[in-house]
C-alpha cells in the first residue's frame, strides 16, 4: 500500500506485506479480504495529501501486477 505522494526510490510513504495462503488467515488463492481503516493507515505511517491511497498486488502465483487507487471513509 502507498500513501500519496509515495517515493518508490526511497520507499517513503509505502508499506509492504506478504500474505499467507493459509485458509485460516483469510487469504487464499481463491480470494480473501483485507480490512483497512483510516487508523490502520495512520498507524502504518501512510499519509495522503489528497485523500487518495494506492494498493498494488505485485504477484500472485506468477500473475501480472495490479493496482487500484482508493479513499478511506471516516
Task: Name the residue with higher pLDDT: 54 or 66.
Answer: 54
Find, among 73, 69, 50, the residue nearest to 2 by Cα: 69
- pLDDT band at residue 62 under the 50/70/90 scheme: low
3 is in which domain, residue-wise? 1-73
- CA dist., res. 19 & res. 8, Å (int): 21
Residue 20 confidence (pLDDT): 66
User: Per-residue pLDDT averaged across 48-64, rounded?
Assistant: 81
- CA dist., res. 14 & res. 55, Å (int): 10
Q: How many domains does the chain have?
A: 1
What predicted TM-score, i.e. pTM, was given to this entire model?
0.71
Amino acid at each position: 500500500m502507498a500513501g500519496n505522494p509515495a517515493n518508490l526510490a526511497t520507499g517513503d510513504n509505502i508499506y509492504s506485506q506478504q500474505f499467507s495462503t493459509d485458509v485460516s488467515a483469510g487469504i487464499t488463492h481463491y480470494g480473501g479480504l483485507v480490512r483497512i481503516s483510516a487508523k490502520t493507515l495512520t498507524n502504518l505511517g501512510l499519509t495522503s495529501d489528497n485523500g487518495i491511497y494506492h494498493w498494488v498486488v505485485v504477484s500472485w502465483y506468477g500473475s501480472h501486477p495490479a493496482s487500484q487507487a482508493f479513499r478511506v471513509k471516516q
